[in-house]
Amino acid sequence: MTQNPTRQETSARDRAAWQRHGTTEVAALDIGSLPSACHALPDRRALLFPAESDRWFTHGELAERGARTASWLRINGLRPGARVLLCGHNSSALVLAYLALLGAGATVVLANPAYTTAELRHLVTDSQAEWAFAAQPATDRLRGLDLRIVSLDEPLPEAARGKPEADAHEPALLAYTSGTTGAPKGVPLTHGNLLASIRAAMLAWRWSEDDVLVHSLPLSHQHGLGGVHATLLAGSSAVILPDFDAAKLTEAMRGHHATVLFAVPAIYERLIADAPQALTTPTLRLAVSGSAPLSPELANRLAQVMGVPPLERYGSTESGLDVSNPIDGPRIPGTVGLPLPGVELRIADESGDDAPEGEILLRGPQVFTGYWNRPEATREAFHPGGWFRTGDLGRLDPETGYLRITGRKKELIITGGFNVYPREVELVLEKHPDVVAAAVAGLPSARWGEQVTAWVVTTGAADFDDVLAHCRRLLAPYKCPKQVFAVDSLPRSGMGKLRRSALVPPEHQTR
């Protein structure tokens, strides 16, 4: 085990960061269970699903109906701790089923509704799920597996309300990581982990019962679900859209006087191009960006429209919400800000010793304790002392203490023996006035081992010689792309994350 010589100093820095977010009171962040922590303002508006109806669910109704379905589940043999797959698009049935499962003490296995039969089978087998709540077409894809299926396309079954059974220390969620490499791994998150994550953000972002979130992110991902958690805990309200549509999002934001927006950079890109009115909704006080890097160019363009750039934050499935630009302090484009209340952060080299630049390590009540049934992966994921190795690379700005993410370890390109981190090259490409978005990866090369290659979306008028000359002005020769492909759009996941495995030369594209 390596000792961390500056541990004391690190803690002082983290505490100072929490202070800048407005609190150092972090002891109670992970207390309770999600059902028990929901706000006691039963008559207030909680959720609206405009694609289904114009009737609001109140907080009381959500709690009551969730508890009644939880009773039905227990009567019908669901045991606390059982894994239950939850697979559907954003809908009231999805949220009610989620609350019922948590109330019954089950562990919810989140599944993206776009998953194929093979992907769903992996989740069911790996998690040993016994039940599934699913909407079509996932319901059909799940048939043939040894599961009890409850349809989200019909009213949920209910029975007389009983006592909630959720235990704060038990896993509430088994979330599977996006799995850009290898099969997705299960991440068990306790009620305490989820509460600590969202409460820290709510404190820092001054979330109140008067907030109105307009939300189009998938609730099958942590980022989307966080918006529901905050709403239920604060007793505030949220308008949940089935998916992202710039016009519908704008209409909902303006019509419902949105105060908060959660989005990913790809959504901000679309809003600024197609619906800048959404971003100038007069009541909007907080626009959050996360899940993928927000380029400084996009942040600056957004700041021209909104007055300030979105509040960029950083987190992961394993560690929840961890770092955010401060709501009242300066927002520095290209950085993700300061550790949220309760989060300890340091930068380390391979052996776990503090380093000025290296892997981002996190510790705190929001961080998971190990992968589901994967002892080897768990051992590799932590340094001694419970420090989670994020796999992300970064450095802390010496003056402001803000975290700058510089890349991901696994994306490293080794070209002619030199290390190149794609993000560094992407940032340079995105500075070129004709480049709208860029992705960089290594392609096999007989000469270089791997060859730095770029895929770029341009304004239409791009002169590639000029783009390459721009790179050569700002980057060492070995970092400059050897080849540039023009594409209409970059391959992205539903959460706006770049799918690097889909970056292939145009002649290898399968669709």
Applying CB under 6 A, the residues found at the interface with ligand AMP are 177-178, 222, 290-293, 312, 314-317, 336, 390, 392, 405, 408
Closer to ligand AMP by CB, 106 or 311: give it: 311
User: Nearest approach, Cβ of 319 to ligand AMP (angstroms)?
Assistant: 8
In the complex, residue closest to ligand AMP by CB: 317
159 or 308, CB closer to ligand AMP? Answer: 308
Shortest spacing between CB 315 and ligand AMP, in angstroms:
6
- Considering the complex, what minimum distance in angstroms separates the CB of residue 312 from ligand AMP? 5
Nearer to ligand AMP (CB atom), residue 345 or residue 467:
345
Chain-centre distance for alpha carbon 257: 25
User: How near is the Cβ of 487 to ligand AMP at its closest, in Å?
Assistant: 21
How many C-beta atoms surround the C-beta of residue 178 within 10 A? Answer: 17
Q: Determine the 3-state secondary structure of 450 from DSSP.
A: strand
Q: Which is nearer to ligand AMP, 60 or 334 (CB)?
A: 334
Strands (E), 119-211: 131-134, 148-151, 171-176, 186-190
Which of 93/110 has CB closer to ligand AMP? 110
Min CB(128)–ligand AMP separation in Å: 22
Rg (alpha carbons) of the chain, rounded to whole number: 23
CA distance 347 to 360: 5
Shortest distance, position 222 Cβ to ligand AMP, whole Å: 6
Name the residue nearer to ligand AMP (CB basis): 260 or 427: 427
Hey, what long-range contacts does 379-387 have (CB within 8 A, 24 or more apart)?
Answer: 381/318, 383/2, 383/348, 383/352, 384/1, 384/2, 384/352, 385/4, 387/346, 387/348, 387/352, 387/361, 387/362, 387/363
Dihedral angle over CA of 367, 370, 376, 377, nearest 10: -50
Closest by CA position to 408, among listed 424, 396, 397: 424
Q: Least separation, in Å, of the C-beta of 231 and ligand AMP? A: 20
Query: From the CB of 277, what's the least distance to ligand AMP, in Å?
Result: 25
Which is closer to ligand AMP, CB of 272 or CB of 298?
Answer: 298
Q: How many CA atoms lie within 13 A of 13 on its CB side?
A: 20
Which SS3 state, helix, strand or coil, does residue 488 take? coil
CA distance linking residue 64 with residue 159, whole number of Å: 11
Residue 287 to residue 261: CA distance in whole angstroms: 5
The angle at the Cα of 127, spanning 123 to 131, to the nearest 5 degrees, equals 85
Distances (CA, A) of 140 to 143, 165, 445: 5, 31, 44
Decide whether 59 or 185 has the Cβ nearer to ligand AMP.
Answer: 185
Exposure on the CB side of residue 76, measured as CA atoms within 13 A: 17
Cβ closer to ligand AMP: 35 or 315?
Answer: 315
- Work out how close the CB of 72 gets to ligand AMP at its nearest, in angstroms, rounded to a whole number: 32
